[in-house]
């Protein structure tokens, strides 16, 4: 394997808990109580598509202007919450895998739906491990479309078949497979059964395993 492509939320850091609080407040404005189960369905889904789903669940009727206002408010709320995020929030084992890749000539890229990807990597002090960052600002089509990972491989100058994707969402595994890449499902959700390999934590990914890829 010559390239590692990392999803962000659920793989490097658990930002889902902050998205949840912010979307819950949006739901309340629409008279709808967003639950943890709803939030699970928003993992890996872009900001715009997440709002569309919440509006549908709420059975609400919003015009384009209202949607825009809710999107801005949601992101401001989310950004306030992650303001004090630091290295303590990096998920266990992530830095070890990044370090191993950097030391062993494996290129590293981010492949995230989040438009806040660059800011979050900076807050976590992880930016220097990445040779390319492809996030929601660089793509026009959401996962399960393979665009984000194909752009990641291209930015690293690699053939997709030489890349492996670390993902926590079923749509992300599908996107990687459509891109012709190997996949590692992270987090232990049964929805990730289609992945080539599954781990509940990055700390279980040993150098010996990486060498078998
Ligand atoms: P933003 P990932 C995704 O991150 C999140 O899982 C999803 O809940 C969020 O709506 C999406 O990013 C967009 O995030 O509002 O920051 O642009 O899993 O693709 O890294
Ligand atoms: Mg994710």
All structural domains of the chain, each given as residue ranges with its CATH number in brackets, are 3-14+86-212 (3.40.50.1000), 16-82 (1.10.150.240)
Ligand whose nearest atom lies closest to the CA of 111:
1
Instruction: Quickly state the pLDDT bin for 131 (edges 50, 70, 90).
Output: very high
The answer to whether residue 108 scores a pLDDT higher than 90 is yes
Mean pLDDT, rounded, of the chain: 97
Query: For residue 39, how far is its CA from the centre of ligand 2 (angstroms)?
Result: 12
CA dist., res. 108 & res. 164, Å (int): 10
Tally of CB atoms within 10 A around 87: 10
Ligand 1, from 36, 81, 136: best to mutate by most atoms within 8 Å of Cβ?
136
Partners of 199 in the β-ladder: 186
> Nearest C-alpha to atom 13 of ligand 1 is from which residue?
114
Query: How much is the pLDDT for 109?
Result: 98
Ligand whose nearest atom lies closest to the CA of 110:
1
Query: For residue 9, how far is its CA from the centre of ligand 1 (angstroms)?
Result: 6
CA dist., res. 192 & res. 190, Å (int): 5
Pocket-forming residues, ligand 1, beta carbon under 6 Å? 7-10, 16, 19, 42-47, 50, 75, 112-116, 136, 169
Query: For residue 66, how far is its CA from the centre of ligand 2 (angstroms)?
Result: 27
The secondary structure of residue 91, as a DSSP letter, is: P
Instruction: Quickly state the pLDDT bin for 69 (edges 50, 70, 90).
Output: very high
State mean pLDDT over 156-164: 98
Query: How much is the pLDDT for 188?
Result: 87
Specify the pTM: 0.95
Query: How much is the pLDDT for 189?
Result: 87
State mean pLDDT over 90-103: 98
C-alpha 66 chain-centroid distance = 26
């Amino acid at each position: 394997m010559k390239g590692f492509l990392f999803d962000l939320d659920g793989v490097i850091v658990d930002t889902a808990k902050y998205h949840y609080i912010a979307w819950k407040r949006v739901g309340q404005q629409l008279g709808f109580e967003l639950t943890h189960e709803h939030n699970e369905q928003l993992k890996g889904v872009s900001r715009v598509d997440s709002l569309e789903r919440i509006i549908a669940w709420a059975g609400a009727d919003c015009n384009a202007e209202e949607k825009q206002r809710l999107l801005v408010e949601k992101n401001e709320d989310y950004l306030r919450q992650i303001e004090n995020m630091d290295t303590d929030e990096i998920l266990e084992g992530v830095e070890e895998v990044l370090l191993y890749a950097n030391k062993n000539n494996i290129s590293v890229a981010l492949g995230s739906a989040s438009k806040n990807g660059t800011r979050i990597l900076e807050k976590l002090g992880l930016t220097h491990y990445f040779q390319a960052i492809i996030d929601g600002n660089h793509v026009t089509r959401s996962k399960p479309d393979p665009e984000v990972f194909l752009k990641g491989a291209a930015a690293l100058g690699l053939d997709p078949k030489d890349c492996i994707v670390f993902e926590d969402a079923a749509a992300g595994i599908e996107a990687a497979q459509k891109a012709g890449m190997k996949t590692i499902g992270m987090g232990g959700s049964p929805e990730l059964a289609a992945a080539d390999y599954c781990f509940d934590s990055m700390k279980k990914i040993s150098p010996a395993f990486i060498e078998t890829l």
